[in-house]
Structure 1
Amino acid sequence: MLLAAAVAALALVPLGHIVVAAAGVGWSGIADLVLRPRVAELLVNTVRLVGGAVVVCVVLGVGAAWLVERSAVPGRRVWHVLLVAPLAVPAFVTSYAWISLLPGFDTYGGALLVVSLSYAPFVYLPAVAAFRGLDPALEDTARGLGLSTWGVFRRVQLPQLRVAVLGGALLVALHVLAEFGALAMLRYPTFTTAVYDQYRATFNGPGATMLAGVLVLLCLVLLLAEIRLRGARGYARTGAGAARTVRPVRLGALTAPALLALAAVVVLSVAVPLVSLVRWMATGTSAGLDVATLATTTGTTLALAAAAAVATTVFALPTGWLAVRRRGPVATLIERSTYLGSAVPAIVIALALVTVSIRLVPGLYQTVPVLLAAYAILFLPRAIVTVRAAVEQSPPLHDDVAASLGASAPARLWRVTLPLLAPGIGAGAALVFLAVVTELTATLLLAPTGTTTLATAFWSASSALEYGAAAPYAVVMVLLSAPATVLLSRDVLPAARRGPTP
């Protein structure tokens, strides 16, 4: 409980910064800064983008997960890897790939397409994991009672996917709320881009902080809605696994449309950005490539991403465990608190940590620990969602049996609990690693002097319209992200390795 509370306190540092700033402005000042037509416009833009992205990502993620895990669509193992691949391509790289191909792409539709393609794996991965944990006997029984394939999905499978889908949808919503790079390139104004513009152009701290406060309120609405929809029902299952073999559903005449739909998602989310990168890379190579600088930047990025992945996953363990094993108002409050930081723009998190470090521990200003703290605040939800899902499907019976046999608490943790949670821990660490490799805003403000990552180097070059020079950094970002993406997709369900049952 104490460890989880400490993690929540770290995540609430940006919120505390906003509250203190709001108290300094006063109610009249808040009204002047928030109750404006421009804020209403930003609210409409942000809400409709978040809502649209959640709907599109849920449809794409759940639909693709069903095709890969429950249908007889050809090449399911390959499709699984390709559907996770967008996580290896930064959203701002995807946005520039599209805007460079279609100059008129800077619309709501363009922004919705980019964020949906970039974040759909956040729903797809939990949905796949949930499908793999379902008991096929329930589906076979439902079919035996006369339900169609659609009826089985709607009445048997979908209710059991609720926790996973809601968790993934929450991740999508939080990340769209805080997205900056992609939306700035597409010139689609949201609260996050407005906050950045005010800090950069006018240094309007109170105005930007009040806009960030509206973002926090939107985050609270999302968290409360997810709690209400998810409920308190548990989904753990006892036993080593399903006794029956999964029988993939034959699609028949729908096989071709299903393949076309999967191919369209992969082409739009992966092929278009990679083709654009190849073109940039050719331009950059012809203009000369500073290999030494690229190597140094790559090493720095790799070290920061690995350290952040370990630290953030360690922080997520007590929170994920508490949320499932000690259900109640306090546990729910602690868990939900860890999500608030990621809904605040990275620039506000960075400035909050700068303020705290200067006032409390001046020696930490512009050091790696402060930067890692920013990464942890930003990406804790990615680790907590996967750890929580693992705990949900890990029955407490195993730990109780070990305790009855005389195993100490540390022994149970090492020999029983951690092995059961290993897939969730690994997935969470991989998601954090992917995020840090491509993180931009907080790194720009908090990195120690002289420290440059691949994302900041790419952003600097592309902002100066040196797209050829930016290409090598983007390519290495993709290459660094690829192993973690493979880690997320390598655990293929045995049924996916089998062909359709005759």
Structure 2
Amino acid sequence: MPQRRAAPPVLVTVVVVLALGALIPIGYVVQAAVAMGWDELAALVFRPKVGELLANTVLLVIIGVPATVVLGVGGAWLVERTALPGRKVFAVAFAAPLAIPAFVSSYGWASAVPSISGLWGGLLVAVTVYFPLVYLPALAAIRGLDPALEESARSLGMGSWSVFSRVVLPQLRLAVLGGGLVVALHLLAEYGAFAFLRFDTFTTAIVVAYQASFAGPNAAALGLVLVLLCLCLLVAESLARGQARYSRVGGGSPHPPARLPLGPLTPVAIIAATCVVATSTLVPLTSVVRWLFHGGSADLVGLTSATGQTLLLAIAAAVCAIAVALPFAWLAVRYPGRLSRLLEGAAYLASSLPSIIVALALVVTTIAFAPALYQTAFTVIAAYVVIFLPRALVPLRAGLSQVPESLEEAARSLGVAPFRARLRVTVPLLIPSICAGGALVALGAANELTATLLLAPTGTRTVATSFWAAASSLDYPTAAPYAIVLVLLSCPAVALMFAHATGRNLR
């Protein structure tokens, strides 16, 4: 077993500084909890209401994440390895829900089925909205597998299920765990979708507590419990990830994989795939379009201004998040160890908090240490980076893990300096991952709600905040045009992520 190399001090220093910045919201929650003292904190945490919130949130994660994994991996395998009729259409349709913000999907379901609410309503919306976060990395990983491995397994007498479970699935571990972790963090931090459905989680309770009393102790106590839940998720994901490497030199077998005939299961597969598309895309979009033609109207000047401001903030957030995530990914992949995992965990930890806590932490910090930055675009973008950093980090880490370091070593053996070797060899191979991560961040930033409401400079209106102002007042017709614009803004990012996942058109 090769001996681990020590990470360059400069790289470690950069990542430590970035990690400390990402941990500002955690420090804010901990400081608020310490200021309360144990007696007050215990009185706030050990209450029946907190037990109910804990049960709701835990059930949401332990049911929702496996459900998204089943849909994501199953959908990727169906369109990539089977002879499913219409698989090219389904391949695109399975990625389409990412173009619909969770709170827009919830708005669509709530207006179509007013009785929908509670845990099962929340799971329906969350799973159908977030399963593409597992589907896309799983699709990319399956396309990157060497089909000769599966053919060899079949030649040894394995059936289709055995080949999938013993050959394909283990090689999807990195993609599935990364996507599942991002889904879990979204479920912990989601507010708008569950607020529409009247489903109480820690995040919805925290927002209500902050609205009742700015930076109140009740919200800080709930935020501390949410941080502990995130820590449990990070530890579980880190242990499950292990030390396996997934890179290889060469493209493997040059021929395309054999398509497995579904036989009598074909109608079942088509019905199941159609139901997934209908619940995740058709129902919410149909409701939005219905309200649009029901008299929806919007000030075109205001809508245009909100769209422009949304695009500027989203693009800036994507660039900054990629710049911050790259050192984390490089340290985690090239120099794995306890320190790299600890620092990488810091990048995920703050994103588990609801964005209102991240925003309030930045408000307190900027007022105390940099008042000139208070209510500026800088603070808004900083909040986006903290909240959506995992979206940039997961694709970068997965992409870097598939780039053999031997390619850099070969370049250095030809006299190329180490830094130039990375720029000329590794970075070009990471461009698809950079684009996918940037698209994910831009998508999240364009749809972000609570942090934008609190941090945006006076006069700033994004499409998401304008939509929420109308929809939260049950003015569904006025909200509909903003919902359509949110979907249209999301489409290019989703198309870019789909292109990254497939690498080329489906064969």
Task: Compute the TM-score of the two structures, normalised by the length of structure 1.
Answer: 0.97
Q: Give the partner amino acid of 2:222.
A: L
Q: C-alpha displacement at 1:493, in angstroms?
A: 4.7
The answer for the alignment partner of 1:329 in structure 2 is 338
Give the 5 Å matches for 1:204-215.
Answer: 205-215=216-226
Q: Give the partner amino acid of 1:172.
A: V
Q: C-alpha displacement at 1:410, in angstroms?
A: 3.3
Q: C-alpha displacement at 1:348, in angstroms?
A: 0.5
SS of alignment partner, residue 103 of structure 1: coil
Q: Give the partner amino acid of 1:473.
A: Y
CA distance 1:175–1:497, shift in 2 (3 Å)? closer
Q: C-alpha displacement at 1:114, in angstroms?
A: 0.3
Q: Give the partner amino acid of 2:74.
A: G
1:465 paired to 2:471: no
CA distance 1:294–1:284, shift in 2 (3 Å)? farther
The answer for the alignment partner of 2:424 in structure 1 is 415
How far, CA to CA, are the matches of 2:406 and 2:486 in structure 1? 42
The answer for the alignment partner of 2:244 in structure 1 is 233
Q: C-alpha displacement at 1:279, in angstroms?
A: 1.1
2:62 to 43, 46, 51: 51
1:70 paired to 2:70: no
1:405 to 406, 414, 427: 414
Q: C-alpha displacement at 1:491, in angstroms?
A: 4.7
How far, CA to CA, are the matches of 1:360 and 1:283 in structure 2? 50
The answer for the alignment partner of 1:40 in structure 2 is 51
1:482 to 478, 491, 501: 491
The answer for the alignment partner of 2:111 in structure 1 is 100
Q: C-alpha displacement at 1:284, in angstroms?
A: 3.8
Q: C-alpha displacement at 1:496, in angstroms?
A: 6.8
How far, CA to CA, are the matches of 1:185 and 1:368 in structure 2? 28
The answer for the alignment partner of 1:10 in structure 2 is 21
Q: Give the partner amino acid of 1:67.
A: L
How far, CA to CA, are the matches of 1:424 and 1:306 in structure 2? 16
The answer for the alignment partner of 1:454 in structure 2 is 463
Q: C-alpha displacement at 1:104, in angstroms?
A: 1.4
How far, CA to CA, are the matches of 2:463 and 2:394 in structure 1? 27
The answer for the alignment partner of 1:263 in structure 2 is 274
Say whether the 8 Å CA contact 1:245–1:495 is kept in structure 2.
no
Task: Compute the TM-score of the two structures, normalised by the length of structure 2.
Answer: 0.96
Q: Give the partner amino acid of 2:458.
A: T
The answer for the alignment partner of 2:6 in structure 1 is none
How far, CA to CA, are the matches of 1:14 and 1:213 in structure 2? 11
Q: How many residues align?
A: 496
How far, CA to CA, are the matches of 1:82 and 1:283 in structure 2? 27
Say whether the 8 Å CA contact 1:68–1:496 is kept in structure 2.
no
How far, CA to CA, are the matches of 2:211 and 2:114 in structure 1? 25
SS of alignment partner, residue 158 of structure 2: coil
The answer for the alignment partner of 1:273 in structure 2 is 284
How far, CA to CA, are the matches of 1:317 and 1:495 in structure 2? 25
Q: C-alpha displacement at 1:494, in angstroms?
A: 7.8
Say whether the 8 Å CA contact 1:7–1:315 is kept in structure 2.
yes
Give the 5 Å matches for 1:187-226.
Answer: 187-203=198-214, 205-226=216-237
How far, CA to CA, are the matches of 2:285 and 2:361 in structure 1? 36
Q: C-alpha displacement at 1:413, in angstroms?
A: 2.6
The answer for the alignment partner of 2:310 in structure 1 is 301
Say whether the 8 Å CA contact 1:298–1:453 is kept in structure 2.
yes
Identity within the alignment, %:
53
How far, CA to CA, are the matches of 1:191 and 1:242 in structure 2? 49
1:82 to 93, 105, 109: 93
User: Please, which runs of 5 or more residues in structure 2 have no aligned partner?
Assistant: 1-11
How far, CA to CA, are the matches of 2:197 and 2:264 in structure 1? 39
CA distance 1:142–1:109, shift in 2 (3 Å)? same
1:430 paired to 2:411: no
CA RMSD in angstroms, aligned pairs only? 1.3
How far, CA to CA, are the matches of 1:355 and 1:76 in structure 2? 51
Q: C-alpha displacement at 1:201, in angstroms?
A: 2.2
Q: Give the partner amino acid of 1:348.
A: I
How far, CA to CA, are the matches of 2:328 and 2:502 in structure 1? 28
The answer for the alignment partner of 2:174 in structure 1 is 163
Q: C-alpha displacement at 1:243, in angstroms?
A: 3.3
SS of alignment partner, residue 469 of structure 2: helix
Offset from partner CA, 1:215-235 (integer Å, 9 cap, x none):
000000000001111111111
Q: Give the partner amino acid of 1:242.
A: S
The answer for the alignment partner of 1:357 in structure 2 is 366
Q: C-alpha displacement at 1:392, in angstroms?
A: 1.0
How far, CA to CA, are the matches of 1:212 and 1:265 in structure 2? 33
Offset from partner CA, 1:182-237 (integer Å, 9 cap, x none):
00110100000000001112446111011001000000000000111111111111
